[in-house]
Amino acid sequence: RIVSAVAAELIDVRKTFGPTVALDRVSLRAYEGEVHAIIGGNGSGKSTLAKVISGVLVPDSGQVSIFGKTATNPSESKALGIANVYQEVLVADECSVLDNLFLGADGLFATAEPREDRYAKAQRILSDLLGFDLDPNAIVGELPLSIKQWITIARGMLTNPRLLILDESSAALDFEATERLFKKMREMKAKGCAIFIVTHRIAELVRIADRATVLRDGVSVGALSKDEITEENILHLIAGPERERA
Q: CB atoms < 10 A from the CB of 25, how many?
A: 14
Planar angle of CA 193, 199, 204, nearest 5 degrees: 85
- Nearest approach in angstroms of CB 157 to ligand ADP is 22
- Nearest approach in angstroms of CB 45 to ligand ADP is 4
Q: Does 213 sit near Mg ion (CB under 5 A)?
A: no
In the complex with ligand ADP, which residue's Cβ is closer, 20 or 230?
20
Q: Does 81 sit near ligand ADP (CB under 6 A)?
A: no
Which of the choices ligand ADP, Mg ion, none does residue 131 contact, using the CB cut-off of 5 to 8 A by kind?
Answer: none
- Nearest approach in angstroms of CB 152 to ligand ADP is 16
Considering only 12, 17, 137, 230, the residue that binds ligand ADP (CB under 6 A) is 17
Q: Does 42 sit near ligand ADP (CB under 6 A)?
A: yes
Burial 144-166 (b: 16+ CB within 10 A, else e): eeebbbbbbbbbbbbbebbbbbb
In the complex with ligand ADP, which residue's Cβ is closer, 163 or 215?
215
Q: Does 22 sit near ligand ADP (CB under 6 A)?
A: yes
Considering only 8, 26, 28, 48, the residue that binds ligand ADP (CB under 6 A) is 48
Which of the choices ligand ADP, Mg ion, none does residue 100 contact, using the CB cut-off of 5 to 8 A by kind?
Answer: none
In the complex with ligand ADP, which residue's Cβ is closer, 98 or 198?
198
- Nearest approach in angstroms of CB 47 to Mg ion is 3
Q: Does 47 sit near Mg ion (CB under 5 A)?
A: yes
- The residues that touch ligand ADP, with contacts defined as CB under 6 A, are 17, 20, 22, 40, 42-48
